[in-house]
Amino acid sequence: MTTTDLPPLRITHPRLHFAPRNNWMNDPNGLVFHDGLYHLYFQYNPQGVSHANMSWGHATSTDLIRWTEHDPAILWDEEAQIFSGSVVVDHGNTSGFGTAEEPALVALYTAAAAGRQAQALAYSTDGGYVWTKYQGNPVLDRGTSDFRDPKVFWFDDGRDAYWVMVAVEAVDRQVLFHRSDDLKTWTFLSSYGPAGPVGGVWECPDMFPLAVDGDDSDVRWVLLISLNPGGIAGGSGTHYIVGDFDGKIFRPTVPHPTSGRELLRERSQSREELEAYGWLDFGPDCYAGVTFDGLSRDERTLIAWMDNWEYAGSLPGDSDEYRSAMTLPRRLSLTRDQSGVLRLRQEPAIELEPAESVDLGSMTGSTVLTADPASATRIRFAATFGDAHNIELRIESASDDDLVVIRQDRMSGRIAIDRPGAEMPSGFASVPSMRLEEPGEIEWDLWIDQLNERVSSLELFAQSGERVLTALIPAASPRSYSVAVVGGALRRARATVAVVRY
CATH label of the domain that carries residue 407: 2.60.120.560
The alpha carbon of residue 275 and the mean position of all alpha carbons in its chain are separated, in whole angstroms, by 19
Residue 328 class from Cβ within 10 Å (0-12 exposed, 13-18 middle, 19+ buried)? buried
pLDDT in the model for residue 265: 56
Q: How far is CA 461 from CA 202, 221, 360, 378, 379, in A?
A: 25, 23, 21, 11, 11
* pLDDT score at 337: 86
Q: Which of 252, 239, 146 is nearest to 201 (CA)?
A: 146
Mean pLDDT over each residue of the chain, to the nearest integer: 91
pLDDT in tens, 271-305: 999 999 999 999 999 999 999 999 999 999 999 99
The answer to whether the CB of 220 falls within 8 A of the CB of 251 is no
Is position 291 within any domain?
Answer: no
What letters, b where the CB count within 10 A reaches 16 and e where it falls short, cover 259-279? beeebeeeeebeeeebeebbb
- How much is the average pLDDT of 357-375? 85
In a domain, 159, yes or no: no
Determine the average pLDDT of the residues in 253-282. 79
User: Do 495 and 360 touch, CB atoms closer than 8 A?
Assistant: yes
Higher pLDDT, 270 or 502: 270
Whether the Cβ atoms of residue 418 and residue 405 lie closer than 8 Å to each other: yes
Instruction: Tell me, yes or no, whether 143 lies in a domain.
Output: yes
Q: Which residues are known to be catalytic?
A: 27
Question: What is the DSSP code (8-state) at residue 464?
Answer: G
284: closest CA among 345, 239, 231, 329?
Answer: 231
Rounded mean pLDDT, 358-381:
87
Q: Cα separation of 458 and 473, whole Å?
A: 7
Indicate whether 117 belongs to any domain. Answer: yes
What is the pLDDT confidence band of residue 264, given thresholds at 50, 70 and 90? low
Who has greater pLDDT, 479 or 107?
107
Determine the pLDDT at residue 502. Answer: 54
**Percent of the chain residues past pLDDT 70, beyond the cut:** 93
pLDDT at 4: 44
Q: What is the pLDDT of residues 10-61, one digit of tens each?
A: 445 788 999 999 999 999 999 999 999 999 999 999 999 999 999 999 999 9
Residue 469 DSSP SS3: strand
Overall average pLDDT of the 488-499 stretch: 91
pLDDT bucket at 222, cuts 50 / 70 / 90: very high
* pLDDT tens track for 134-160: 999 999 999 999 999 999 999 999 999
346: pLDDT confidence band, cut at 50, 70 and 90? very high
Q: What is the pTM of this model?
A: 0.95
Q: Quick one: pLDDT band at residue 397, thresholds 50, 70, 90?
A: confident
User: pLDDT tens digits, residue range 175-191?
Assistant: 999 999 999 999 999 99
pLDDT digits (tens, 9 = 90+) for 58-84: 999 999 999 999 999 999 999 999 999
Q: Which pLDDT band, with edges at 50, 70 and 90, does 438 fall under?
A: confident
- At residue 132 the predicted structure's pLDDT band, cuts being 50, 70 and 90, is very high
Name the pairing type of β-strands 287-291 and 301-305: antiparallel
Domain membership of residue 340 (yes or no) is no
* Domain end among 137, 154, 171: 154
Instruction: Say what the pLDDT of residue 8 is.
Output: 41
256: in domain = no
Average the pLDDT over each of 47-56, 211-220, 334-343, 426-435 and give the range with the smallest value: 426-435
**Residue 127, domain CATH:** 2.115.10.20
Total number of domains in the chain: 2
Among candidate residues 154, 180, 212, the one where a domain is terminated: 154
pLDDT at 196 over 80: yes
Domain boundary among 98, 122, 154: 154
Domain range for 86 is: 29-154
Write out pLDDT tens, residues 303-343.
999 999 999 988 776 555 788 999 999 999 999 988 889 99
